Amino acid sequence: MGPEATASFYERLIELTPARRDQDHLHVIIAADPSVPDRTAAFLRDGESPLSAMRRGISLLVDAGADLIAIPCNTAHIWIDELREGVDVPILDMIEVTARAAAAALPHGAQVAVLATVGMIESDLYGRALAALGLNARYPSPAEQEKVTNGIVGVKAGTHREARELLQDVGHRLVADGVDGIILGCTEIPLVFETEAVGVPVFDSLSLLARRTVNEALGVDAEAI
Amino acid sequence: MGPEATASFYERLIELTPARRDQDHLHVIIAADPSVPDRTAAFLRDGESPLSAMRRGISLLVDAGADLIAIPCNTAHIWIDELREGVDVPILDMIEVTARAAAAALPHGAQVAVLATVGMIESDLYGRALAALGLNARYPSPAEQEKVTNGIVGVKAGTHREARELLQDVGHRLVADGVDGIILGCTEIPLVFETEAVGVPVFDSLSLLARRTVNEALGVDAEAI
């Protein structure tokens, strides 16, 4: 949905594909319709629903012959059940993929911070996915969440340096508060977040979805990022 | 055709679009089918024609409702007349766009080096486009062209540092030989070439096509890259 996140997702697919020449790469079709109404506004404030625009995107991909669909927008997954209705092509679940990566890396009962849009936080999608795997979601405080929201908006507006500072600051506070890991649960965040800098494992939903997509498409294990 | 060039083209479209939020961006559909047979092999060595695979890509875009089509692969333009046949949606001509940028920046009679695939060189597409605008194409010598070819193959194979050295070296030699400008006439080349380092104006076909695409789509002048 965010064009930069979509472009970065495509870059990650290319990087993760073992290839020496064009013909070794995946056949990729991208439907990037940025006019899809704001997902968080729709969920929280009864804004225009993004569902029909997202369904048009899915239909375009199905009609074009897609064998597998990935949606590199966490907040869009609020509607994943509706999007899957009547669609025979498998649609990967980014939330499940990311939560599973956290569960594979962290001990039972670990506390995982979730950096995401307010819509995602309110939907509790990550909270439920983590709980089902024996992990606890830790959401930012209202003041921290405001920084996260401004960071996400800043990435979309192209002010990357300021956005990075806001997001990194929240990451550091959450680690100081004792979280065991951090989920980057909005695909704008990995475009600027420095995962090495926070000192706990970071689960980047954008890279994890890209890796899962390549694995499914090729039936081989992609290299770690 | 080269996935990395396609991803970079999409990044350039995003960068060139004046936008503060998702909804300000262009609606982009990408059909990236890397199984399209090698364009240079087809043209030079009677390899499998890429035309039917490229036509499938065009049909996909037309069926998806595209109002404008850009093909970020110079060598594919050998077949542009065939690709345009029976297609009502305008298809931009990357060669013309790039040659016009050179003609706008350089004096009549200037000599312009063309870094491109052997297929492009043999087709003389740039030579004819430049001649029509009063400029002279200067193609690399066979030894220089081997470096260019290895540079392009290197970008596709992911060995960017070595590829950059090969391409940069040819650029320097051509400037030492007196060329007035350089066209990066293969979309893999701008992924590694340092345009500032050569001392003459460089015309990057990938960025120029992206700028023209944004201009046409928005009806406004995009910022210079």
pTM score: 0.91
- Establish how many alpha carbons lie within 13 A of residue B165's alpha carbon, considering only the half-sphere containing its beta carbon: 3
* Residue A212 and residue A97 in contact, taking contact as beta carbons nearer than 8 Å: yes
Chain B CB within 8 Å of residue A38 CB: yes
From A36, A58, A73, A114, the catalytic residue = A73
Nearest CA in chain A to B158: A20
Mutate to test the interface with B, among A9, A11, A22, A74 (most CBs of B within 10 A): A22
Closest CA to A78 of A63, A58, A93, A62: A93
Chain A residues in contact with B35 (beta carbon < 8 A): 23, 27
Chain centre to alpha carbon of residue A213 = 13
Structure token pair of residue B72 = 């970020």
Q: Do B153 and A21 touch (CB under 8 A)?
A: yes
Residue-level pLDDT at A26: 95
Does the CB of A1 have a partner CB in chain B at under 8 Å?
Answer: yes
Name the residue among B41, B131, B77, B97 with its Cα closest to residue B211.
Answer: B97
Using left for φ > 0, alpha for ψ between -120 and 50, and beta otherwise, residue A175 falls in alpha
| Active-site residue, A186 included | yes
Nearest by CB to A157, which of B1, B11, B20?
B20
pLDDT of B42-92, one tens digit each? 888 888 899 999 999 999 999 999 999 999 999 999 999 999 999 999 999
Band (pLDDT 50/70/90 cuts) for residue A184 is very high
Contact check, Cβ <8 Å, A7/B26: no
Q: Per residue in A193-217, pLDDT tens?
A: 999 989 999 999 999 999 999 999 9
C-alpha torsion B3→B4→B7→B13, nearest 10: -120
Q: ipTM for the complex?
A: 0.88
Beta strands A111-115 and B111-115 are unpaired
Exposure of B194 by Cβ count < 10 A (0-12 exposed, 13-18 middle, 19+ buried)? exposed
Whether residue B180 has pLDDT greater than 90: yes
